[in-house]
Amino acid sequence: MKALLKGACFLAAILMISLMGYSQSVMTGKITDSDGKPVAGVSVGIKGKSAGTTTDAAGNFRLRLNPGDTLTLSSIGFESRQIVFKKVSDLKIKLTEENKTLSDVVVTGYKSQIRAEITGAVSTIKMDKITEGQAAESFGSLLQGKVAGVNIQLNSGEPGATPAIIIRGLAAVSRGDASAISEPLYVIDGIPIISRMSSEFAVTSTNVLADLNPSDIEDVVVLKDASAAAIYGSRAANGVILITTKKGKRGKPQINLNIRTGVNFVPQLRDVAGGVKEREQVKRLYDLYAPYGISMPAMYSDVTNPFYNNSSDWQGYLYNTSVTQDYNASIRGAGDFGQYSISMGYMDSKGILFNTGFKRYSLMANTSFNALKNRLIINNTLAVSRTDQGKNPDGLSTSYSSLIPLPDNPLVKGSEVYTPGHISNLNDRVRFSSDATLNILQNLSYKASLSLEYLRAMQDSYSESRRTLRATNQSAAGENQNLLFQNTLTYTPKFGNGHSLSILLGQSMEKTEAKTTTVNSVSAAPTLSQTVNWPKGGSIGSSNYGASTLMSYFSRLDYNFQQKYLLGASIRTDGSSKFGSANRWGVFPSISAGWNFAKENLFANSDWLTNGKIRGSFGLSGTTWDNNYLALGIMDGGKLDQYNSLIQIAYGGIAGFTPTWYDGFKNDNLTWVKTSMANLGVDLTLFQGKVEFIFDAYEKLTKGLLLSTSLPTTSGYNEVYRNAADVLNQGLEFTVSTNLRFGNDFTWGSNMNFAYNKNRVVKLPDGNADIIKVSTSGQDFGSIVRVGDPLNGFFFYESQGIYQAENQIPVNPKTGKKLVGLQNKNLQVGDRNFKDQNGDYIIDVSDRVYSGDPNPKWSGGWTNDFTYRGFSLNIVSTFVVGRDIVNTDLLDRLKLGKAFAGNGSLPNFDNYSIWEKSGDNARFPTLNPWSDATQVINYDSEYIEDGSYFKIRSATLSYTFNKRFIRRLPFDRMRVYCTADNLVTFQNYSGPDAELVTIDGYDMSKGYPMRRMFLFGVSISL
Amino acid sequence: MKNKFLIIGCVWLISVLGQSCKKWLDQLPINTVTEDQAWKTGADAEGAVAAAFAIFRRALSGLTKDDTPATTRNGSWGDYYFWGDARSGDWITPNDDGDWGACFQNHLKERTELEPMTNWRLYYRTIEQCNLVLEKIPSITDGLTEERKKQLLAEAHFLRALAHFYAARIWGDVPINLEARNVKPLGREPLNDVMKMVVEEANIAIPDLPWKREGTIKESMSRGTKGAALAMKAHALMWLKDYQGASDAMKEIINSNIFKLVPIDQFRNLFDAGESEEVILEMYYDIKKGETADYYGHIMTYYLTNPYTSRSNLSLAVAKSKILEIYPDYARDGSDKRVPAFFQSIDFSVSASELRPVLADPLANGERAIMFAKFRKVKDRSYSLMEAPVPVFRYADILLLKAEADARLGKVADALINLNAVRTRAGIPEFTRDDAPTVIEEVLEERRRELIGEFQRVYDLVRLGRLHEFNSSITEQGEKDGAGFYPVSDEAFANNPNMEQTYYWQFNQ
């Protein structure tokens, strides 16, 4: 009531003023686009007043105006404008299309900069158009192929899987099989967020960033070089990804709905010999090779037994077409009071593999209030989300033998042997941040912000052994918290004739905590419970906690003269609790400069050069590691042994602490991984923005990567961690984009980017000793880290084909003895011919050589946008060139052990040239499963293949109903679209998909193939 | 107005920056302690020394894959047996276990299963823990009396010497590490230098060690005592051929009147419970305190069967003919009471689902099926709860060792007193010949009879260079080249350019 009264009074006052106001009059104006065509539906308001209107179909509007009023104009697809009304002639207003200008403002570290004034390597991706037509679990996959030097690999098709995002080359070393990734820092609206749970505390395997609804993102900025990233100091060495969420815009409230449904199709799967074919293959292997007295299992010989007389397509049974649904709704608006933006999303992406899928519920509310006559701006953001990823334990496998009946076969229907089990992964995240900006003076402002992030992950699983029918339950809960308090002071004076200065001072304190609790039980009787019910005995639980704090002071200075000569410098100092008190603080400086040469008089009248800039930068940034207490010397109180004896804990009933022998002792010398990066770049804009060209060259030296080095056994310790390894990445990045218009209605925009990266290990501990990677279970899996070579190369035996004749097997001329094969095998015709590298006539470990590089040399993307009137077609392709990968999947399936029969499905041997008899021109050696030394071995260079591919990642065809085209549209705008995702792949690789490989180059198609999706949707703006 | 904001802002900023208390960056774990927190009180000191003994207990039992990824072994096997007894030539593996057989024949590098036994990592962990104790405890004052501090430091001296001593008996020349956090690549020191160091450390420890500690005999004798340090010193001096010094050290033990030979019918107290006045040093095991070995980790697992464990066959035994050879008095007239105390025959005709009876005649089961039952547990047919303490030194061992020393010094009469004390207890006639070489030989035989399965025999033979006489797989030259010692594991060569393999093992598997 009160509000109504107030409103009425206000209206009355305006009326009075308008009656009295001699100068105020109703004005008509016309709004056109840059080509002079009228623009309908533009919101026209007056700053500080509630009056407002929208343009009609002819682009005309009527409004009462006083001279001096500020008009605010906004419309989707156009840059917002503010114009001070002076005289009638001002009311022919041109709006420029969004995303076409170079003067746009880019969010960089702790502040915004005009693009022309940026001196670092910074890329911006407007997400609006991308997310409108594509549904994705995380924004990461939508960035694929969009930014030069940002290599994004979707190496699993599982809904909710984490894509590997590497900026400017891999710079992480590990001894184990956890393929270490150099992860960038993610910052949402100025707040660094938890982007990953450290392995120690990872309860769920869902992509932590998948809880951020991509539709909420306005744009993504990638800070690639040190000058841009160094302000983020100790976490910026691998690049920084800044995410800005959508905010309300002035004008009438905008309500958006986006509804889409996709159908996921099963892509090409592994080839399998089915039914009779499998039986024949097994029989043939037995006929050829089985030693005397070994006969085929009944499963293969007993054709009459219906239980085994099947041709089950397990892949076909378990992989099925599925449906993805994605709904987004938002309301946003802004005015003098501030702005608001509320959005909700629901996504349900069913996996193509049974029992898998990903669901996301997300809500984001952002409000800003202007107080004290716009001198105080208070901003609150609340983001709540839940992701729910369903997974399969290994209860049912897609690689079962085709002779085994499918679960829907009447023979086994309802029996418990096929109980598949289930794993549920739940991530709940709440992010709350609040900040206040006080504009102390016209160009001096102070901002304080506090943010709290809480991420709870829960995993409940239930699985059952097909053999023992024992049920295993596991229940795990993890909490990750992040508390951040930031203060920044910005001073941006302009003086003299075009001198412009910007100074930033800041401080931040951050605390990150993680906690897990895990319990599990094994019960003899199958249960259906996914939680642990604590049966007597057989249960064990554990919990873990870790915390780290960071304190930082930072400053940045940017200076430019008439936007012509640019200079930037930043410095940050970080103190981290992860280091010993002696080595706690790290300093990360950077310096950069740029020259907008197009603004020189020489080019003043040039009609081809619109913009041209040369920039260079150098800086230092850092990374840390997960283990919070590594430097402190963690003590060990012992643990119960596997029989619950205290023998490792107490002696004579007295318990005490010993060092943790694996992590070494207190290590005050541990310090940051320091990365120095130099960058040189050129930006060119030609022909009024029709062609843009960006070039960057960089050198990134990562020094002191954390690596364990083993200590002499006489010290008592196993190993100690040291800042021991250095990696160098050098590269070139090219981006060419064109914005062309043909006639009145047809436009073509394209963006082609490609990046070359050369990766090289510079230093390793222990006198640069090679690191042959070994998994936690002690398995050498064939990767090597060697000084002078790219990271994680394949360390394999060099295949020279197959011995076709006895006389091909080399004989040692000194001893007259034949070359001895692996595992001391007496080599025969049909065996793999490995090169005896050291000429000692024995094939052994010392004959393994560096035989392939899994790091992509060239990567990039090519995006094309065509529009014709309301139609638009958008095609995104990505490519990788110059990468070696191992067809592990084929290798594993050809590697038949003695008990191979019945163990799983077999590939169709007809599709592979496999040696059987002399003269066979075969690629693969004899498959004799009973051979003393199998000839199908890991580390055989024959399985290394070219991993290059070109993928049409997505194609979107859409039609936009717009008031510009259809005047009677009940909405402002409506867009219908269909998108084909993962459309087609061109590759040399013989496996299913060259992208489905691990970072270190091993095929993962066994894991989860990438679905092909057709998405249909409609997006409506009210 | 403007100024007001400016002032408020500045005050706020200063207060924010000013509160950058240093404590913000001090984060400590809550589920364990850090090095700086671990050495504060008397309780910390007590715990640290006990932990050193716990590591040594595991060192004797053998390392597992928890200790180093280089080994794949899930649990230890009771490696003290493999080092101290397996190769003496007295043992057989009735089920023809390949790994055991390879060890008996001194093929120590051939089998990957034996590889963990070549790794001395846990001995040097014990040593490092002692080095840390010696570095950190002196500055602890909270809850630690000066007297107790002295005792604990003496125990650390004793234990690190013991670990060196035990390792030297196994590997021969071993590195000496007397410094905490010593990551230097240490080379192997000559065995004599190691033994000299052991004697020096014992001399440092002995004055501050008590003869007895509070608590039960097991609690007392499983830690550092004067007796244990003297016994270790005597053994080390025997290796150094300083027989007078050894004899003197052992005389101190005898004169203390703390230890005595117990009657044979109290052997269960001695071997199964470790609660006997004959014990000088043993490794603590006790079910009541939860410190037991299970399936793995205790050699008893392998030689006991039903009715003591659920095993149905023997992996490890002494052949009947060998028993009769070792115990000639028993062969002659059944007089040696140690044979029925150490060996048993089980009635295998009874179903394995029941507790099988023990036959009256210990040797009834014939050549390859007699159970070695010197250490045994209650009859309950479960694998679990092996709690017999692992012996290191015992009074009979010291008496016989002194007899050897005295005989070598020509004091045959003194030697015979101690030799006959042991023989008399066993119920066999006194030894009366008085020529030193014969007495020395008989003492060695008596040690074989008395200490069988107590991890002494191989060390005696290696010390005297006579292993080749009893183990047909070892030649005289081989033994001179170091065949009596274990090879050094590959892991010891990692980051250690000063490490060398034993000469014999450079050429043999």
A490 in B contact zone (CB under 8 Å): no
Residue among B26, B34, B74 whose CB faces A633 most closely = B34
Chain B hits for A629, CB-CB cut-off 8 Å, are: 27-29, 34
Chain A hits for B119, CB-CB cut-off 8 Å, are: 713
Query: Residues A76-109, buried b or exposed e (16+ Cβ, 10 A)?
Result: bbbbbbeeebeeeeebebebeebeeeeebebbbb
DSSP A622: E
Q: What is the pLDDT of residue B89?
A: 93
A375 in B contact zone (CB under 8 Å): yes
Q: What is the pLDDT of residue A829?
A: 85
Tokens of A194: 């938890």
Chain B hits for A546, CB-CB cut-off 8 Å, are: 29
**Per mean pLDDT, which range of A17-21, A342-346, B349-353, B440-444 is the poorest?**
A17-21
A103 in B contact zone (CB under 8 Å): no
Residue among B28, B46, B75 whose CB faces A654 most closely = B46
Q: What is the pLDDT of residue B386?
A: 85
Contacts of A185 (CB under 8 A, 6+ apart): A192, A195, A229, A232, A235, A236, A238, A239, A240, A241
- Computed from CA positions of residues A578, A583, A585, A588, in that sequence, does the dihedral angle turn out positive or negative? negative
Residue B58, judged by CB atoms within 10 A of its CB (0-12, 13-18, 19+), counts as buried
Q: How far apart are CA B236 and CA A837, in angstroms?
A: 50
Kindly state the helix (H) or strand (E) to which residue B478 belongs, with its residue range. helix B476-480
- Computed from CA positions of residues B82, B85, B86, B88, in that sequence, does the dihedral angle turn out positive or negative? positive
Residue among A549, A647, A774 whose CB faces B58 most closely = A647
Number of H helices, E strands in chain B: 21, 6
Q: How far apart are CA B145 and CA B142, in angstroms?
A: 8
For residues B77 and B13, which has the higher predicted lDDT (pLDDT)? B77
A831 within 8 A of A926, measured Cβ to Cβ: yes
Tokens of B75: 């649990």
What CA–CA distances, in Å, run from A720 to A55, A630, A737, A791, B175?
Answer: 71, 10, 50, 22, 20
Give the chain A residue nearest B49 (alpha carbons). A656
Give the chain A residue nearest B8 (alpha carbons). A440
A274 within 8 A of A268, measured Cβ to Cβ: no
Q: pTM score, two decimals?
A: 0.84
> Helix, strand, or coil here: B443?
helix
Q: What is the pLDDT of residue A416?
A: 58
Q: Chain B neighbours among A 515-554 (CB < 8 Å)?
A: 543-549, 551, 553
Task: Give me the total of CB pairs closer than 8 Å, taking one residue from chain A and one from chain B.
Answer: 224
Q: How far apart are CA A506 and CA A488, in angstroms?
A: 4
Residue among B9, B47, B489 whose CB faces A655 most closely = B47
Angle CA B370–B371–B374, to nearest 5: 130
Q: How far apart are CA A858 and CA A837, in angstroms?
A: 31
Distance of CA A997 to the CA centre of its chain: 15
Q: What is the pLDDT of residue A530?
A: 53
Residue among A548, A657, A774 whose CB faces B27 most closely = A548
Quickly list H helices, A685-814: 765-768
Q: What is the mean pLDDT of each run of 10 residues along chain A (1022 residues)?
A: 49 46 66 75 76 77 78 72 72 68 70 85 88 88 91 89 90 75 89 85 88 92 87 88 90 89 90 84 85 79 76 87 94 90 95 91 94 90 94 78 80 68 90 93 90 93 70 85 93 88 92 88 56 52 87 92 91 89 87 90 83 92 87 85 81 91 85 92 90 94 88 90 91 94 90 94 87 73 88 90 86 87 83 88 88 92 92 94 90 80 82 82 84 82 93 93 73 89 91 87 81 93 84
Q: Cβ–Cβ of B35/A666 closer than 8 Å?
A: yes
A682 in B contact zone (CB under 8 Å): no
Q: Chain B neighbours among A 599-658 (CB < 8 Å)?
A: 628-629, 632-638, 641-658
Q: Cβ–Cβ of B496/A653 closer than 8 Å?
A: no
Chain A hits for B492, CB-CB cut-off 8 Å, are: 712-714
Contacts of A4 (CB under 8 A, 6+ apart): none
Tokens of A14: 């305006």
- The pLDDT confidence band at residue B10, using thresholds 50, 70 and 90, is low
Tell me the pLDDT tens digit for each residue of B262-277.
Answer: 999 999 999 999 999 9
Q: Cβ–Cβ of B495/A711 closer than 8 Å?
A: yes
Q: What is the pLDDT of residue B8?
A: 66
Q: How far apart are CA A920 and CA A481, in angstroms?
A: 62
Q: Cβ–Cβ of A507/B496 closer than 8 Å?
A: no
Model confidence at B433: pLDDT above 60:
yes
Model confidence at B286: pLDDT above 50:
yes
Q: What is the pLDDT of residue A535?
A: 47
Quickly list H helices, B109-188: 121-136, 146-171
Model confidence at B141: pLDDT above 70:
yes
Which one of B53, B115, B128 would you mutate to disrupt binding with A, by most A Cβ within 10 Å of its Cβ? B128
Q: What is the pLDDT of residue A522?
A: 66
Q: Cβ–Cβ of B28/A628 closer than 8 Å?
A: no
A333 within 8 A of A251, measured Cβ to Cβ: yes
A44 within 8 A of A72, measured Cβ to Cβ: yes
Residues A90-96: contacts with CB under 8 Å, at least 24 apart: A91/A27, A91/A28, A91/A29, A91/A30, A92/A29, A92/A30, A92/A32, A93/A29, A93/A30, A93/A31, A93/A32, A94/A31, A94/A32, A94/A33, A94/A34, A94/A36, A95/A31, A95/A32, A95/A33, A95/A34, A95/A39, A95/A42, A96/A33, A96/A34
DSSP A89: G
Q: Cβ–Cβ of B27/A448 closer than 8 Å?
A: no
Which one of B183, B219, B488 would you mutate to disrupt binding with A, by most A Cβ within 10 Å of its Cβ? B183
Residue among B54, B384, B494 whose CB faces A650 most closely = B54
Quickly list H helices, B272-384: 300-303, 320-326, 328-333, 338-342
Q: Cβ–Cβ of A651/B32 closer than 8 Å?
A: no
Q: What is the pLDDT of residue A466?
A: 63
Q: What is the pLDDT of residue A532?
A: 53
Q: Cβ–Cβ of A718/B494 closer than 8 Å?
A: no
Chain B hits for A488, CB-CB cut-off 8 Å, are: none
Q: How far apart are CA A14 and CA A5, in angstroms?
A: 14
CA distance B80 to chain A (A): 16
Residue among A544, A581, A646 whose CB faces B289 most closely = A646
B383 within 8 A of B309, measured Cβ to Cβ: yes
Q: How far apart are CA A224 and CA A677, in angstroms?
A: 10
